[in-house]
């Protein structure tokens, strides 16, 4: 087989071998190859190893990139995003600086509902174009795969519109996207006082409709004349997520929604314990959810239940930072309790407009007490595991997708040690150079 | 006069009119021009105003940049950096995550002294090359002028080597640099137990030697065949700074050093109240220092003394973040007490490797309770005032240096609302396009 690309002479290649999520003390295992290289053919990694061994595989048409003094690692997997939305909420940001709480803003008719109103009136093309700029920035910061949620439509037609925007981006953007249906993001204003009627709508109409998503996706794709392959259609299930918290959905409502979703074949995720502990982490363990996310106020016994049930803890420190809060999720406790920990940006217009996984890593080390190695594991293989695609992405191994990053730092710890700027110099997505920057062009 | 460049049609041009530092409630005054433009000839701003008015000034050779949907603002002025150093301290970063304190690390022979050892053995060319990469990244994030301190030499020869590295960068790099002598950064290990003898060395040998700096600088410049103009030689005084804190210099030692520096004609800055309150903010007011910096544990009465004496409060939230600490300086209190507030990155290898002023702004709003407008004022005109160059940079006005940024956001609040990525699309430095990025190249 002819090798298309060899990245060689890296100070460190972080392979993160294996397809399983990593837990506890073993999270330190980045499986580093010094003076390492990776060889790529088409969209796949062909070999990972010593530079001299791999350079021997090159032929005349092999492109070579010298990564001397730098590190190579798997593309980041962002386990939790709301990257598709219309408009912005810079106004509310200022309100919040002046003391208004998330729930205050929501009760005042702002918050999520203002994004819902903007998203409902947006055309699908607008949603796609506005999200594309964010995906571009995410890709430039090393995110090669991201989960993206619906949840700003909150009626069947607009949730489908969001899902189609997500599918369109997945088909047209270099990044691979795993979609999640989040019809139960918040009760929309027109259902105020009739919350259970909205849950009925989610359970009885939206969920069954979304199970036709693959069909709809196929037909939409044909209409849009999208021809390239996509991770969604090939590999990943559609996930269902529910925001279980004060001001969102009760534990009982969450149970109804997720139980029905499971019956219909959805993978499960849950927004758990962001503000109040309503028991959602335990529910996630009981239902065998792929992930529970946020987890700001989760108890140790709930962590142990998650560990037992293989529920990945998706921590979202960007949101805590975005809100200017000082109490972050206790990442160390999840590691101690043997829960596999993943990271997500949670990019969204209300609390966290952040495209940078390197920043999330820097934050998780300082305020959630992960080690740099644990944070890198959390941003790659464990995030992939939470999305059910750890056999395809999240580590550098033969047969996996050639999603790899060159970072212009001499050692993996610099990804967390430095912050605020973008350490990622080159992004390889499915074997193609997606972005490449000189130092003075880099953000 | 022929116009070289017009940036036009900006959603907002933030002019920040005036040369004086802004205080208190008036910090909200960004003096915004909607659908605004700036006109540049050579290195200077010629006009600022309405797009149609300014476009009428164009001739056939005027270059035009359309900033539709974006904002234009003055280049950032970074009021406090240690951007020149050798090596890195990623090891200690991991130590600190595991519970070691700044002073623990310092006492263990690491901390600042490990950078001092690396800097002493580095050739001047190495210092320049290592710093250049950081200045490139700072410039890409919009910093067009930065203060840079010595302080990793800690003997006369090596402090001079650092000063020459700073002068070389100022002459060769697009960014303008204001130098500060920080021989009293920490007592070097060879003076352990003889701290006052080191203060003697600073006062009796280093300070008088550094007053010959301009002479040395000129000769060095000739040797290096540097010909272009530089802000240092033309406009700014040499500053003297002292780190007054537990583990560094006592108030008495600080008073000796700064008093002598003042007699010799240095402008004064002081590292005050970062860990312990030793009275350095009050001393800064008494001596008429240009700035007091850090100010984590400053009392209200001290703030009032600073306000009275026109001492600029330089806040450095990146360091608090870098250390993973939760208690930030109380920016709101300084505003309330009418102290002009400036921001700096404090980029340094020990506690804060951060090249991004937009990130510092995002941090200051969330954790030091500045409004977005106050934070922008702090990162431009007030930082310039703290460096004695507010008549040249820090606002957009005819006659000032043409240091301007185009940010790809529709409103100034987005500079703080979004975080982690770089909102700066185009950097104009002294009338020349220093960096220009497409969205997908931006970090």
Interchain CB distance below 8 Å, A411 and B90: yes
Interchain CB distance below 8 Å, B97 and A371: yes
Strands B424-429 and B404-407: antiparallel
Min Cα distance B347 → chain A (Å) is 10
Mutation target to probe the B interface, by most B beta carbons within 10 A, among A328, A345, A416, A443 is: A443
pLDDT value of position A218:
39
Interchain CB distance below 8 Å, A137 and B435: no
Task: With both helix axes pointing from N to C terminus, report the angle between B251-263 and B280-287 in degrees, rounded to the nearest 10.
Answer: 20
Query: Which residues, given as ranges, of chain A have pLDDT below 50?
Result: 215-235, 439-443
How far is C-alpha B382 from the geometric centre of its chain's CA atoms?
11
C-alpha–C-alpha distance, residues B424 and B376, integer Å: 14
Residues in chain B within 8 Å Cβ distance of A406: none
Residue in chain B nearest A141 by alpha carbon: B443
The partner residue sitting opposite A137, judged by closest CB among B141, B411, B439, is B439
Residues in chain B within 8 Å Cβ distance of A323: 366
Interchain CB distance below 8 Å, A435 and B437: no
**Chunked in runs of 10, what are the mean pLDDT values of chain B (443 residues)?**
94 90 71 97 96 96 97 98 96 84 74 94 96 97 97 96 92 93 96 97 95 52 35 60 96 98 95 97 98 98 98 98 96 96 97 97 97 95 95 95 97 97 97 74 45
The partner residue sitting opposite A417, judged by closest CB among B90, B417, B419, is B90
Residue in chain B nearest A418 by alpha carbon: B353
Residue in chain B nearest A88 by alpha carbon: B414
Interchain CB distance below 8 Å, A356 and B321: no
C-alpha–C-alpha distance, residues A245 and A254, integer Å: 9
- Cβ pair A169, A224 in contact under 8 A: no
Interchain CB distance below 8 Å, A140 and B441: yes
Residues in chain B within 8 Å Cβ distance of A435: 440-441
A to B CB pairs, distance under 8 Å: 150
Decide which of 3.20.20.140, 3.20.20.70, 1.20.1050.10, 3.40.190.80 is the CATH code for A76-386.
3.20.20.140
The interface predicted TM-score (ipTM) is 0.93
Residues in chain B within 8 Å Cβ distance of A411: 90
- Considering the segment(s) B5-74+394-442 as one domain, its CATH architecture is Roll (2.30)
pLDDT value of position B440:
44
pTM of the shown model:
0.94
Residue in chain A nearest B135 by alpha carbon: A440
Which residue in A406, A410, A415, A411 sits closest to A372, CA to CA?
A: A415
Interchain CB distance below 8 Å, B372 and A94: yes
The partner residue sitting opposite A97, judged by closest CB among B89, B356, B365, is B365
**Tokens 């033969």, located at residue:** A398
Structural domain spans, chain B: 5-74+394-442, 76-386
Task: For residue A412, report the phi and psi dihedrals to the nearest 5 degrees.
Answer: -60, -25
Min Cα distance A202 → chain B (Å) is 32
The partner residue sitting opposite A443, judged by closest CB among B88, B91, B442, is B442
Residue in chain A nearest B425 by alpha carbon: A443
Chain segment A29-71, per-residue pLDDT in tens: 799 999 999 999 999 999 999 999 999 999 999 999 999 999 9
Residue in chain A nearest B327 by alpha carbon: A326
Counting beta carbons within 10 angstroms of the beta carbon of residue B310, is it exposed (0 to 12), middle (13 to 18) or buried (19 or more)?
Answer: middle
Which residue in A403, A399, A331 sits closest to A371, CA to CA?
A: A331
- Cβ pair B142, B394 in contact under 8 A: no
HSE of B236 in the Cβ direction (CA atoms, 13 Å)?
Answer: 30
Residues in chain A within 8 Å Cβ distance of B417: 88-90, 93, 353
Min Cα distance A49 → chain B (Å) is 25
C-alpha–C-alpha distance, residues A295 and B391, integer Å: 50
pLDDT value of position B91:
87
Residue in chain A nearest B324 by alpha carbon: A366
The partner residue sitting opposite B324, judged by closest CB among A91, A93, A366, is A366
The partner residue sitting opposite B440, judged by closest CB among A136, A345, A442, is A136
Residue in chain A nearest B348 by alpha carbon: A418
Interchain CB distance below 8 Å, A141 and B414: no
Min Cα distance A438 → chain B (Å) is 9
- Cβ pair A46, A39 in contact under 8 A: yes
Residues in chain B within 8 Å Cβ distance of A136: 439-440
């Amino acid at each position: 087989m002819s090798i298309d690309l060899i990245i060689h002479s890296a100070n460190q290649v972080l392979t993160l071998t294996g397809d399983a999520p990593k837990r506890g003390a073993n999270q330190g295992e980045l499986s580093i190859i010094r003076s390492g290289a990776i060889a790529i053919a088409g969209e796949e990694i062909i070999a990972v190893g010593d530079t001299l061994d791999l350079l021997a595989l090159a032929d005349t048409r092999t492109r070579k990139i010298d990564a001397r003094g730098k590190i190579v690692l798997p593309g980041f997997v962002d386990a939790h995003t709301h990257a598709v939305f219309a408009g912005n909420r810079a106004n509310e940001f200022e309100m919040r600086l002046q003391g208004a709480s998330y729930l205050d803003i929501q009760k005042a008719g702002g918050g999520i509902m203002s994004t819902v109103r903007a998203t409902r009136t947006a055309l699908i093309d607008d949603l796609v174009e506005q999200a594309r700029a964010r995906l571009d920035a995410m890709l430039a910061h090393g995110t090669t795969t991201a989960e993206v949620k619906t949840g700003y439509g909150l009626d069947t037609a607009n949730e489908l519109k969001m899902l189609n925007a997500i599918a369109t981006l997945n088909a047209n953007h270099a990044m691979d996207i795993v979609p999640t249906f989040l019809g139960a993001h918040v009760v929309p204003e027109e259902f105020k006082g009739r919350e259970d009627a909205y849950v009925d709508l989610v359970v009885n109409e939206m969920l069954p409709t979304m199970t036709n998503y693959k069909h709809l996706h196929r037909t939409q794709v044909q209409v849009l004349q999208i021809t390239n392959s996509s991770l969604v259609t090939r590999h990943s299930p559609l996930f269902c997520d529910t925001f279980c918290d004060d001001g969102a959905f009760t534990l009982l409502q969450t149970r109804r929604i997720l139980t029905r979703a499971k019956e219909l074949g959805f993978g499960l995720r849950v927004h758990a314990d962001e503000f109040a502990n309503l028991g959602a982490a335990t529910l996630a363990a009981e239902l065998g959810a792929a992930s529970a996310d946020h987890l700001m106020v989760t108890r140790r016994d709930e962590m142990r239940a998650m560990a037992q049930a293989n529920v990945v803890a998706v921590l979202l420190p960007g949101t805590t930072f975005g809100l200017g809060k000082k109490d972050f999720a206790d990442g160390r406790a999840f590691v101690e309790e043997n829960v596999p920990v993943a990271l997500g940006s949670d990019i969204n217009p209300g609390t966290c407009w952040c495209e940078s996984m390197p920043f999330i890593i820097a934050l998780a080390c300082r305020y959630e007490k992960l080690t740099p190695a644990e944070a890198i594991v959390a941003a790659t293989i464990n995030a992939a595991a939470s999305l059910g695609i750890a056999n395809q992405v999240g580590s550098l191994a033969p047969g996996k997708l050639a999603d790899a990053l060159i970072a212009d730092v001499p050692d993996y710890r610099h990804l967390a040690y430095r912050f605020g700027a973008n350490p990622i110099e080159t992004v390889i997505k499915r074997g193609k150079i997606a972005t490449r920057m000189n130092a003075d062009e880099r953000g």
